[in-house]
């Protein structure tokens, strides 16, 4: 009997992220982009006797979150990181830890409105 491909979980969010970052990079087509990457904690999927880590890479796995499978929690995490590494190696000039442009505006606005610390008298 042929195996049905619909057995994989349909993920709409990552409930327990273990890593979340924004990377700036140049695509193989020469476009400069910033994408959010999120990797979730390994999840046991007992129906199929496997584990998976949910992975989202904006513009790459979009529109959905991709479950990366393994035979155990560490195996699924290793496979998920290999998947992220593949994305890293497909692109050039990858710069992790980049803040998206709208986050910079929010951050600078917050700084302007922060209360100044009160100094203690000597």
DSSP-based three-state secondary structure for 51? strand
**pLDDT greater than 50 at residue 9:** yes
Q: How many separate helices (H) and strands (E) can be counted in the chain?
A: 2, 6
The pLDDT score that the predictor gives to residue 73 is 98
Express each pLDDT in 39-93 by its tens digit. 999 999 998 999 999 999 999 997 799 999 999 999 999 999 999 999 999 999 9
Note the pTM of the prediction, 2 decimals: 0.77
For residue 93, is it left (φ>0), alpha (ψ between -120 and 50) or beta? left
The residue ranges of every structural domain in the chain are 10-113
CA angle, 83 as apex, 67 and 38 as ends, to 5°? 65
Mean pLDDT computed over 89-99:
96
């Amino acid at each position: 009997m042929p195996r049905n491909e619909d057995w994989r979980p349909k993920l709409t969010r990552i409930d327990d992220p273990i890593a979340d970052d924004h990377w700036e990079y140049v695509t193989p087509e020469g476009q400069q982009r910033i994408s959010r990457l999120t990797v979730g904690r390994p999840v046991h999927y007992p129906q199929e006797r496997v584990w998976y880590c949910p992975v989202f890479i904006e513009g790459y796995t979009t529109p959905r979150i991709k479950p990366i499978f393994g035979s155990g929690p560490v195996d699924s995490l290793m496979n998920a990181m290999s998947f992220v590494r593949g994305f890293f190696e497909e692109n050039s000039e990858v710069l992790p830890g980049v803040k998206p442009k709208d986050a910079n505006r929010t951050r600078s606005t917050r700084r302007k409105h922060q209360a100044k610390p009160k100094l203690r008298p000597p």
